[in-house]
Structure 1
Amino acid sequence: MRKIKNKRQMLVLVLVSLFAIAMFGCVERIQVEEFEQKNVVLSKNVIKLDRMQSEDFYLGIKNSYETKEDFSLVIKCLTDNCDGNLVLQTFPTIGIEGNKNGAFPMRVHALENAQQNEYQYELDVMKDDGVYGQERLNVVVTAAVEKMKKELVEKVK
């Protein structure tokens, strides 16, 4: 009787495991299909920075034929005060000939007096006077280092 119960438990465990593996495979395939349908993708969509910190990320542009294509990049700040708080380092014209894989490095830098806030950029990759692809980048400026300094000063007192 005990062996039958153990066999049933093993069978249920195997079936549940197979179901979980099948579901994970479906979810992964759906994510890959969604990614393949996009023309533009960012390596990071959310970046957290403290003041005076920088973070690198990549803008990926799909180029199915790996030919020389001319793209341009339009960057829009969707929040009111990006300019006085952040610097986004990039290039005005993107050429696939510079990198046939289409992965272009970019950097965001929080200035010394950056306000603690969340900032949002919209990156439009243009081709032939039309939008080829679009992504959004959220940059969160924290004051973590400043808070730690204050806490240390208070502890020393």
Structure 2
Amino acid sequence: MRQPNVSEINERDRGSPAYLRLSRKSVNSLGHLVPFSNKVYTGDLQKRLGITAGICILIEIKTENKGCAVVAIYSFYFGDYGHISVQGPYLTYEDTFLAVTGGSRIFEGVYGQVKPHQIVFPFKLFYTFYLKDIGDLYSQELLGKPVEPTPAIEPSPAANACDPQATIDNFTN
């Protein structure tokens, strides 16, 4: 079965990410919170699907890797299709897997994992979902042939403008 791919793009228009420092340190450190919300497009970047929204809790700074480790808890919102929730340890300096913990509508009862691929962290990420118990509920909109994830990727002008033919029904903005 083919698995859906989506591209998450932070277009710097949502005030995301926000860094909530819980200590008096002026740099990011253990326990700081990072709420975020970014736009999500089909893997081929031709349609706007919705958003991601969630929070990360910083658990480790990895200066040698120019990154950090966080515990991530977030959801992908796909309009009338519903949402998929994910959580787990997330490394900003290498590809990891997060647990798919459930969903709604066509994703009700789904489980599995998702692999976020860093393109330009935290501004461009590419996700591959490995879902179980979903059956044949996928829409062709979610299964298009993805573009090669490179730093130059951008959504199509129609998807970026949210033209009706370039969005899914009732996408979350």
Q: So what's the TM-score if we normalise by structure 2?
A: 0.23
Q: So what's the TM-score if we normalise by structure 1?
A: 0.25
Structure with greater helix percent: 1
